[in-house]
Every structure is written in structure tokens, then in C-alpha cells.
Structure 1
């Protein structure tokens, strides 16, 4: 089988972390298909080459069901990263966490670190920071906690960067690449699919719900779960992502 080699990493250990994450996702029984890791070393990751295929509604629905099983495979804790390497996000080591709840984890390890980086770059004014910090306070207090999908226990096994560009459509179905795998809330992966317009999103969600129904009110929490990726993109690219992050946060303050 053909392979391709990725060398564009912010740190040599990021290649090892991504490889461990892909293997962890692939270990989920009946879960979403993940590009096979052929070799991993510092700064180098060799994966199977995924051939292009049609973006069919049938494949989308099958992928949704498989993703539900990946999430249900679980993780030991919020913020858990598989393997020995540190996870990476937005070009920097991923913040660890010993949080007991999702809200505490999301506030301390996914919102605040990237808010502070974006603020330091000048992307946010004082009023913007105030809005997002108000949401952080509610998250940390547990006011915005909500149940996982039906088959997930306390913590879901997440891809962690599930935007449409990391969802490859092969002739036999969807294959995932470029994971930032960790333990978190399943709705985060689904919100990321929504944020950047995954093809056949309605079918993906339908397949997911057939296997593991989402908790009531999930539609109203999509923007909450998009707050982290919007902050990450503010750090990386600036522009309109900063105001999109503030608009998302405003719904929950």
C-alpha cells in the first residue's frame, strides 16, 4: 500500500503525539476508521495514503455511527493524552488537566490558555476578555456542564481536531487524519464538524444519534463547544475569528 510522510510539525514530539493519538482512536471497537500509522519518529510521521472517493450520504451516515462508537470507547480523564508524548494544540504543548468535571477542564485547559495567548497578541480588547471570562466562571462553577451522549461514560475519546479537512472521503468510506486526540466531551468533535461545514453533516448526525443519542439541548450548546477552536484559530490566524469567539461566548455569559 502507498504511504505519505508528514514533516510539518511545530515540535519533533508532536509527530509522536499525533501517532499515539491515531493509534488510540483506531483501537476503539467498531469506531471511525483512522489512517494507519506506518512509522513515527521525532518530527516525522508516515501514514497510509488515502485515495479520494465520493462524498456520499451513505458514507456520512456510516461515519456518524462509527464516530459514536469511538467516543463511547472513552478515556481515563478529561484532558488525558495517550502515549508518552505531550499533546500539542495551536503549535504549543497541550495544557494538561486534573479537572474532575468537563466544565472545569474546558475552562482551565481549553478556553483560558488560548484566551490569554490571543489577548497578548492584541486580538481582544478588555470588553471582549470580560465576556469570555464570564463564561469561564460559569464553566468552572459547573453551571454549563451537561450529559455525554447515551453510550459515553464520564469522558469521551475525542479526535480533537475534527474539522472537515481532517475527514477524508475514500472509495470505501470516511478516514480520519491529523488527530489531537484526548479525553473530553463528545459534543466538541461534533461542534467542530459543524464549524467548518462538513459535507452531509445532517447524515453524520443522524448516524450518530442512531447509535448514541445526544443529550437534550445539544443544538443550543454547539457554539459553546466551538469556543475553543475559535480561540485557537484566533491565536493562529487572527482576523474575524476573534469576534466569532466573542459572539459564541456571548450566548453563555
Structure 2
């Protein structure tokens, strides 16, 4: 059976954008990274016609049942995610030792190779994606500020008090200045890795390597027994800072999170102090939640901005 997602009429390329991200992550999965939902087909929508009709973009994925993860599943997912984050560095190393060095994925903000031309990056729920920038930067802070925080802050502007705006823009400016950059190279990241975008599925059902899986209310029900794998779905894939994925995993209570982090640290340890930087990496995502889902996210967003200024 297939799971089908339709693009919003005003974003006819959204299905192709998501498919491009899944396929890029799937390349890392084939090299030992985290399993990824496979794409059966993806098509572009027509956009709005003069009569108001629109043929919507279509993304078709294979459904799989879900399962409850145990501690070992968490550890294995953490190890696999670490391998995804290290995949581009391994690719660079292999090519640098070959006949032609690579420069394809240098910089923060590189989009998947199959990302459709002249199309923005998207972030957020499929039914109301937010348009993000597509610039590539040598500095992670410049990328985050210009291509992610600025669109978010522009959208939030009507909701902000003067004090809110001063705090949020002060945090943004500190990030943009590169004061919080470090030596981490650009990594292939999922980009929206909150707990709802990790599908736990029985390994026997085919979610191995870049095996096929999908989430949501239309999955095939919960299976019990046997090994379980964490599978990536619904990405906003780009080259970013790997701590961003880690921080997003801490937002909404991922099952077996302690085990996931244990496996990750065994495979590809994070830099010292990563826990202190969770707020820095959640700042953008929390701001988007405020923009999309209302003022209940005002407090968490402002606290994350305060944490940025305290680092």
C-alpha cells in the first residue's frame, strides 16, 4: 500500500522538494546511515489556474506498520543518525584521495542535488510550509540568521512587542556575527528532526538501510515483537550543523532519547558543552512554532533567545 501526500496549491514544487531531501538522506542510509522512507514517485503540481482549480503535487511513499522501540532500538538509531551526520565528511575524504577533489557540498545551506531549480527551501508542516532562503554560507551563523531566522522573524513581526523584538533580534545578530560558530564542518542533516519525524518500524517489514517506511494516521497499525528501527521521514534536508538535529530531538519527548544519545555518542561524539547549546539550536524551530501555532510558544522562544545571549 502507498501513502500519498499532496502539495499545497500555492507550493506546487513541494512534493519534489521533499522527495529530493529523502533521496539525499537515502544515499547516506545506503552507507550505513539512518533508515529513510523511500520515494515511490513524486510529481509537480500545476499551481493555481485562472478558474481557481489546481493540480496538486503528489508524493507517494510506501506505508509500513509502526512499533514500540526498546532501548536497543534507540541505541542503534543513535548510531545510524551519527553515521548520517558523518556521511558527507566521509564522501569528501574519499574524493579528496581520488582523482578529483569535491567542492559540491562545501558551505552551510546546500540543498539536495535533486532540489528543483528556482524553488525555495521549505520548513514546517506539509499543508502550510514556510518559505526559507536558499543561500549557501561559509559561516553556520550567517546561514542560520539570513536563510532561516530572518524569514521567521519577518513573519512574527506583527506579533512582537518592542521588548520581544529587541530580544529576538539581539539573539539573531549574535548568531549572524559568527560568535557561536565552531569547527564543525557542514553535515547532511534532516533539518526538522522532532520526534514526530522519526518513525519506529519493525525491521522485518523492510525499513533497513534506505528501506521503505512512512508515518502518520494512515500507517498500517502497530506491530509487536522483533527488532525495531528508527526511520527518518518528512525532512527539510540541507547541509547544516549536526547539533541542530540533536536539539530538535529534545523538543517533544522522543521515545528512548537517552539510548539514542548513548548510541550517537559512541559513534560520533558531540563537542563538549553540546547540552548548553540546545537552546541555540532550538531557537529557530520554536520561533516557527510561535508563528504557526500561536502564543503558547512565545515563552519558550524568548527563553531560547536569552540562552543564545548567555552563551
Q: TM-score, structure 2 length as denominator?
A: 0.76
1:130 Cα deviation after fit: 0.7
Q: Is 1:166 the equivalent of 2:204?
A: no
8 A Cα contact 1:114 1:232, kept in partner: yes
Q: Is 1:177 the equivalent of 2:264?
A: no
8 A Cα contact 1:16 1:45, kept in partner: yes
* Cα distance between partner residues in 2 of 1:169 and 1:187: 22
Residue of 246, 253, 276 corresponding to 1:220 = 276
- Measured against aligned partners, the alpha-carbon deviations of 1:55-110 in whole angstroms (never above 9, x if no partner) come to 21111110111111111123432111112323212423321123211111111112
8 A Cα contact 1:62 1:204, kept in partner: yes
1:8 Cα deviation after fit: 4.8
1:69-108 equivalences under 5 Å are: 69-74=83-88, 75-82=105-112, 83-85=114-116, 86=119, 87-90=121-124, 91-108=129-146
- Measured against aligned partners, the alpha-carbon deviations of 1:124-169 in whole angstroms (never above 9, x if no partner) come to 2111111111112211222111343xxxxx1010111111111111
What is the match of residue 223 of structure 2?
none
* Cα distance between partner residues in 2 of 1:193 and 1:147: 22
* Cα distance between partner residues in 2 of 1:73 and 1:191: 19
What is the match of residue 56 of structure 1?
70
- Measured against aligned partners, the alpha-carbon deviations of 1:220-249 in whole angstroms (never above 9, x if no partner) come to 000110001011111111121122111111
Residue of 18, 35, 38 corresponding to 1:36 = 38
Aligned to 1:252, the other structure's residue is in SS state: helix
* Cα distance between partner residues in 2 of 1:84 and 1:131: 34
8 A Cα contact 1:22 1:35, kept in partner: yes
Aligned to 2:3, the other structure's residue is in SS state: strand
* Cα distance between partner residues in 2 of 1:228 and 1:6: 25
What is the match of residue 149 of structure 2?
111
Aligned to 1:213, the other structure's residue is in SS state: coil
Residue of 174, 178, 184 corresponding to 1:138 = 174
* Cα distance between partner residues in 1 of 2:155 and 2:22: 27
Structure 1: 5+ residue stretches without partners: 149-153
In the superposition, relative to structure 1, how do residues 237 and 41 fare at CA in structure 2: closer, same or farther (>3 Å)? Answer: same
Structure 2: 5+ residue stretches without partners: 45-56, 89-104, 204-228
What is the match of residue 11 of structure 2?
11
* Cα distance between partner residues in 1 of 2:123 and 2:151: 11
* Cα distance between partner residues in 2 of 1:16 and 1:98: 20
1:114 Cα deviation after fit: 0.2
Query: Rg: which structure is higher?
Result: 2
* Cα distance between partner residues in 1 of 2:176 and 2:254: 30
Q: Is 1:126 the equivalent of 2:162?
A: yes
